[in-house]
Amino acid sequence: MKIESIELRRITLPLVSPFTTSFGTQTERPCIIVSVHAEGVTGYGECVAMEGPWYSYETVGTAWHMLQDYLIPRLLGYDLDDPMDVWDVLASIRGHNMAKAALEMACWDLVAKARGMSLRDLLGGGRDRVAVGVSVGIQASPSALVDTVQRYVDDGYARIKLKIAPGHDEAYVTAVRAAFPDTLIQADANSAYTLADAPIFQRMDALNLLLIEQPLADDDIVDHATLQHELRTPLCLDESIHSPDDARHALDLGSCRVINIKPGRVGEHRRSREIHDLCRARDIPVWCGGMLETNIGRAHNAALASLPGFTLPGDISASARYYAHDVAGPDFALNDDSTLSVPTGPGIGVEPDSAALAAATTRQEMVARRAVAL
Ligand code: OSB
Ligand code: MG
């Protein structure tokens, strides 16, 4: 299918409640929605870069620049047959995985729709439902955190992730563990600590956490190996893993015992699946992370998480946990067993709501084929 035009939209959606992590507090989610058009079919992708370079060096602004000036020109006019090929078309550009992933993922949706199949089936996933949890931001006090967690437990979430940062860690996680002795609880530090903080994590070993996510630097796998050797609790890497090679190196070094796969961070569905396959062969559990996606990104994540190696609950919560009015639908609802149902319609199985999308759009650009010197 010849790719004829690609549209970029910068949108901003207000979050239903502020989300505080070790980077700061977010009250809204700016992101880029990418639509790839070919032969009357449209595929959608979402770029998960944040407003600023906090989680990653990529931002909404750098992703827009990369997409418009470097990535889209390489895909326009391309004869797309298999989305497995898209990474190679974009490979001459270094880094910028989140910008690349938005395009590659839109191509998966496009090809799945053209073949009349769901993205889940095209990716080779099997499950109808994927186990999910909820990521809870830092709260003002341990008791406020316990109250917030109680609301999510009442909603039906069977796995709770607590964001932690220095000064908002042990006492908070201890309070939640005391209030919920049997709930699956994990913590995510988003790189806020150094090896000098090892004693904090050694004390948290007593809290029977499912895992501790990315305690140390965003580009580290060496200190994480040292810390992992001192802990019983599995470490899980998020920020440090950008590629299948990164995953292999981290596993070889013993830097973690679990990996969080986010297609945006690793560049696409293909590489996500490669990391999944590598971990599965080594009996390493993986789970699908989240970046406060709209239903477009959430549908991509749910399809990916239906692969068999995603044995831990993902950060793919119900739509209502994030936004009152999403830009695409139908919304995802939490099932009684703390799962989301994986869409089975063509492609990602959710459709943009044109009025909601128009209302959320702050910048729009249609890039059609043109003669450019590259
Ligand atoms: O580290 O997993 C993270 C959101 C933005 C940036 C980084 C992270 C997160 C989350 C949100 O934890 C998970 C979700 O989308 O529910
Ligand atoms: Mg994380």
Active site residue 161: no
154 burial (CB, 10 Å; 0-12 / 13-18 / 19+) is: exposed
Query: Ligand 1 pocket check: which of 13, 19, 21 to mutate, most ligand atoms within 8 Å of Cβ?
Result: 21
Q: How far apart are CA 130 and CA 198, in angstroms?
A: 33
Query: Ligand 1 pocket check: which of 25, 138, 190, 291 to mutate, most ligand atoms within 8 Å of Cβ?
Result: 291
Ligand lying nearest the CA atom of residue 258:
2
Provide the percentage of residues in the chain whose pLDDT is more than 70.
98
SS (HEC) of the chain? CECCEEEEEEEEEEEEEEEEECCEEEEEEEEEEEEEEECCEEEEEEECCECCCCCCCCEHHHHHHHHHHHHHHHHCCCECCCHHHHHHHHCCCCCCHHHHHHHHHHHHHHHHHHCCCEHHHHHCCCCCEEEECEEECCCCCHHHHHHHHHHHHHHCCCEEEEECECCECHHHHHHHHHHCCCCEEEEECCCCCCHHHHHHHHHHHHHCCCCEECCCCCCCCHHHHHHHHCCCCCEEECCCCCCHHHHHHHHHHCCCCEEEECHHHHCCHHHHHHHHHHHHHCCCCEEECCCCCCHHHHHHHHHHHCCCCECCCECCCCHHHCCCCCCEECCCCCCCCCEEECCCCCECCCEECHHHHHHHEEEEEEEECCCCCC
pLDDT band at 366; cut points 50, 70, 90 = confident
Q: Over 50: is that where the pLDDT of 374 sits?
A: no
Ligand lying nearest the CA atom of residue 22:
1
* pLDDT for position 368: 77
pLDDT in tens, 12-45: 999 999 999 999 999 999 999 999 999 999 999 9
**Which pTM does this prediction carry?**
0.97
Protein residues with CB under 6 Å of any ligand 1 atom:
55, 135, 188, 190, 238, 289-292, 315, 317
Query: Ligand 1 pocket check: which of 16, 55, 135 to mutate, most ligand atoms within 8 Å of Cβ?
Result: 135
pLDDT in tens, 68-98: 999 999 999 999 999 999 999 999 999 999 9
pLDDT in tens, 188-202: 999 999 999 999 999
pLDDT in tens, 170-181: 999 999 999 999
Q: Which of 100, 113, 161, 262 is catalytic?
A: 262
- Phi/psi for 129 (5° steps) reads -130, 145
Residue type, 209: L
Q: Across all residues in the chain, what is the average pLDDT?
A: 97
Atom number of ligand 1 nearest to Cα 134 = 16
Distance (Å) from CA 110 to ligand 2 centroid: 29
Distance (Å) from CA 133 to ligand 1 centroid: 12
pLDDT in tens, 122-166: 999 989 999 999 999 999 999 999 999 999 999 999 999 999 999
Residue minimizing CA distance to atom 7 of ligand 1: 291
Q: Which of 100, 113, 161, 163 is catalytic?
A: 163
Tokens of 224: 């994480």
Distance (Å) from CA 239 to ligand 1 centroid: 11
Among 347, 336, 371, 323, smallest CA distance to 26 is for 323
Q: ∠73-70-41 over CA atoms, to 5°?
A: 40
Residue type, 318: A
Atom number of ligand 1 nearest to Cα 214 = 1
Atom number of ligand 1 nearest to Cα 26 = 5
Adjacent-strand bridge partners of 10: 32, 363
Ligand lying nearest the CA atom of residue 31:
1
pLDDT band at 372; cut points 50, 70, 90 = very low
Active site residue 163: yes
Residue minimizing CA distance to atom 12 of ligand 1: 135
Distance (Å) from CA 348 to ligand 2 centroid: 24
* pLDDT for position 369: 66
* pLDDT for position 367: 82
